[in-house]
Structures are given as structure tokens and as C-alpha cells.
Amino acid sequence: MSVINKDFTYIDLFAGIGGFRQAMMKYSDGEATCLYSSEINEQAVNTYKVNYNEVPLGDIKKIDPLKMNLDSPDVVCGGFPCQTFSKGGNQAGFKDSRGTLFREIIRIINCYDFKNKPKILILENVQNLVNHDNGETWKTIRHEISESGYNVIERPLIVAPKDFGIPQLRNRAIILAVRKDIYNGKINFDIPRRRTGNCSITSILENESKETNKYKLNKNLLKILDCWDEFIHIIPKEKRIIGYPIWSDEFGQTYDYSDFPKWKQEIIRKNRKLFMTYKNEITKRLKKWKIRDTFTNTDRKFEWQAGKDIESVYDGIIQFRTSGIRVKRPTESPALVAMDHRPIYGPQKRYITAREAARLQSFPDNFVLNKDPKESFKQLGNAVNVNVIYNVFKLFIEYLDSKEVNNE
């Protein structure tokens, strides 16, 4: 007998647009029941309602399962807010009220008597959660889950869609726990991973259509990319492994930079050396493209992360980022975040569409997206990858089933 039957029950906390729910539906072939969900963002609630015909309960802080007569589920799913643990956020962790929302999950679990508590917890957050505050944050989280009666994985699993052949780089931390009376042995659980570079972005692309044409790059962006494409061709292919950002502002400069931090000195030194190696060609391009006069600060910076594998900027996945323009191999897309850094598919000189973003997150094609692509990208950037959760959950249940579990 499995630790859970296919018709198990679950709750979807911090539900967003229901990435966890998709995974639970997939795992159970639609047999599992969501007892309730919680989401505070109005737009996300709308998308959730359209897709699952259920309006999530709002603020998790207002949920009182006993007073509200909410049954205890078999499984708790929760991708608690990550901004305070994320490298991109303020890193305030538990000092920021958003960090303490994790404790709402604990509060809900602790409403129930021990034997009635959920059997399994599957929670998700950013990779940085593991090292945040020198590991203290994770220690606290693990301790609090354990004190609530759970046998918790020693360290969160760090998993990305590309580990399962889905073309997106997106490392996330997944926390797994099982009620102690069910299994209290060591959780020696890991998953098999595919090697990076084994996927292809073409697997998620829509056919060219009116929709994809809407996302074509404008003339100005194409001009900037044409320039960097010419630039990259100055460097002979066999030498085109540039492992540092190219800062065109440094070309031809001679000012003293010895007071700068070490990492910056190193980048400047390499850029000046690059300039001296290809001085004539680079000087011609600087003039031809008027880089210094017409490009923005960020567009004057360029990161080639494709080694010798591709010939041109337009063979890769491109992103206009605050740190500069980045080109990667067309194997995996960079992690979806929001609209601003939307990946560009080089061969078609266009941004990816919202449907393609949904595919990068393994949402099925019948999932109804928000009509505003900007909102859709935000929601998908916040979501969990469905197949990552599906696979990890499935493998974890199989792992538990291979142990001597007490499943009365």
C-alpha cells in the first residue's frame, strides 16, 4: 500500500496560478481533491478561478481551519513568498514580514492533533534559502517543521526544469517532509538529473503566426544586436570563449583603476587587453555604430555565454538585462522572472510568447492565461514548474513506499 492513495486530499497555499495544483492533478490523474487554496493577489485569484473553478481563500493569516471547519489534508503544498530570501531581494529573511509567512504553514499544520496532521509536506522557495544568513534560516525552518511532528529532508533538494529535460534553467529549493509516525528513518532522497545542455528551446516554440509576429524585435533593438553580432565576429571562433562581461566603455581607456574592488579590476584588465588585441577592428565598430553616443549604459555591456557553440548572436537566446545584453546557447532558457528580462529567441528575432513561457513552466496548453501578457509573465515567473513538482513528488512517494512506512 502506498503512503498516499491516488484519491488523496491536498491544500494549495500561496497558490499563485496553481503550479502545485497542476502537479497534484497530474500525479493523481485528476483523482486527488484540493480541499482549499489560499492566494491574496487579485489577478492571480482571477486566473486561478478561471482554470480551476474555485476562488482561493484570501490572506492566509485569516485562515482558521478549525473555526472554518476545514478538514486536514493528506498533503500540504506551498511555495511561500521568496523575495526576502532571494538574492535579488532585500535578503531580510525572517526580519521582513513576508519571510514570516512561512510560519503560517506551520500554524495551519499545528491546528490539528498529531494523528490528524497532513502526511506529507512539499514546499518550494528560491535556491538562496539554503545559504541565507549562513544557513541559519534553513536551520530554523527545518527545526520548526520538525517540532511540528515531521521528519524533514536534511537539506532542500536543489532542482531545475532542465534536470528533467525541460528547457529552462531555474534552480529552486524543494523542502520535503513526512509525518514522523509514518516514517522516521533517515531521508536519503535525491533525484537523477540530466546534464545541462541536453534540452532544446525549440521544443516549446509556437509555430510562427500572428501571435509570434507581435513579439518581433523593433528596429532599435535589432540595431544594437547587429552591432554586437559584428563585434563577436571580430574574435576568431576558436578564441570566442569569453568568460567575463564585455564593457565597451573600457575600450581605449587608460585611467587608473587600482582603487576598484578586485573583481572589477579583473574585468577592466581583461576588457583593455581584448581591446588591444583587436584594436583596429574594434575602433572601427565603435565609430560605425556610435556605441558611446547612442547606446544606453546597459546596452554598451555584453555577455557572451555561448562559448564556441554558436556562430552568431542570432543563434542564441538573448536577454536585455540591467547588467547588459546576454547571449546563451539555445538549449535552456534563462529562468523566467517577469516581463523585463523576457528571453528572446534569436533565430526568429522575437521575444518568447506568454504561451511559450507557460510551456517553459510545464503548464498544459489548455491552461487559460491572463489576457495581459505582462501579467501573465509575472504570474508564470512566480509559479513553480509543474513537471518539476510532479516528478519530485512522484519520486518522493516512491522513495517512501520503498521504506518500511507505517500507514495505518
Ligand X SMILES: C[S@@+](CC[C@H](N)C(=O)[O-])C[C@H]1O[C@@H](n2cnc3c(N)ncnc32)[C@H](O)[C@@H]1O
Q: Which residue of the set 34, 77, 82, 227 is catalytic?
A: 82
**CB 148 to ligand X: min, Å:** 19
CA distances to 9, 119, 155, 264, 402 from 2, in Å: 14, 12, 24, 55, 9
Cβ neighbours of residue 224 closer than 8 Å, sequence gap 6 or more: 295, 299, 325
Cβ neighbours of residue 198 closer than 8 Å, sequence gap 6 or more: 162, 165, 331
Q: Which is nearer to ligand X, 52 or 215 (CB)?
A: 52
**CB 81 to ligand X: min, Å:** 5
Grid look-up 532522497 returns: 189
59 binds ligand X (CB under 6 A): yes
Q: Which of residues 141-180 bind ligand X (CB under 6 A)?
A: none
**CB 13 to ligand X: min, Å:** 7
Q: Which is nearer to ligand X, 268 or 383 (CB)?
A: 383
CA distances to 139, 238, 280, 370 from 142, in Å: 5, 48, 59, 36
Amino acid at 73: P
CA distances to 50, 137, 163, 379 from 370, in Å: 9, 34, 28, 9
Q: Which of residues 346-385 bind ligand X (CB under 6 A)?
A: 382-384
Cβ neighbours of residue 241 closer than 8 Å, sequence gap 6 or more: 307, 308
Q: Which is nearer to ligand X, 331 or 361 (CB)?
A: 361
Q: Which is nearer to ligand X, 60 or 109 (CB)?
A: 60
* 77 included as an active-site residue: no
Pick the binder of ligand X from 73, 81, 93, 167 (CB under 6 A). 81
101 binds ligand X (CB under 6 A): yes
> What backbone phi and psi angles, to 5 degrees, belong to 370?
-60, 145
**CB 8 to ligand X: min, Å:** 19
β-sheet bridge partners, residue 75: 10, 120
Pick the binder of ligand X from 61, 103, 349, 350 (CB under 6 A). 61
Instruction: Count interface residues toward ligand X (CB under 6 A).
Output: 21
Q: Which is nearer to ligand X, 81 or 118 (CB)?
A: 81
**CB 44 to ligand X: min, Å:** 5
**CB 79 to ligand X: min, Å:** 3
By CB under 6 A, which span of 10-18, 157-165, 303-311, 350-358 interacts with ligand X?
A: 10-18
Q: Which is nearer to ligand X, 44 or 177 (CB)?
A: 44
Q: Which is nearer to ligand X, 111 or 221 (CB)?
A: 111
**CB 78 to ligand X: min, Å:** 8
99 binds ligand X (CB under 6 A): no
Pick the binder of ligand X from 14, 231, 295, 345 (CB under 6 A). 14
By CB under 6 A, which span of 77-85, 134-142, 314-322, 345-353 interacts with ligand X?
A: 77-85
Cβ-closest position to ligand X: 16
176-204 per-residue burial string, b: 16 or more CB within 10 A, e: under 16: bbbbbbbbeeebebebeeeeeeebebeeb
Pick the binder of ligand X from 25, 32, 75, 82 (CB under 6 A). 82
Q: Residues with catalytic annotation?
A: 82
Residues that bind ligand X (CB under 6 A): 14-17, 19-20, 38-41, 44, 59-61, 79, 81-82, 101, 382-384
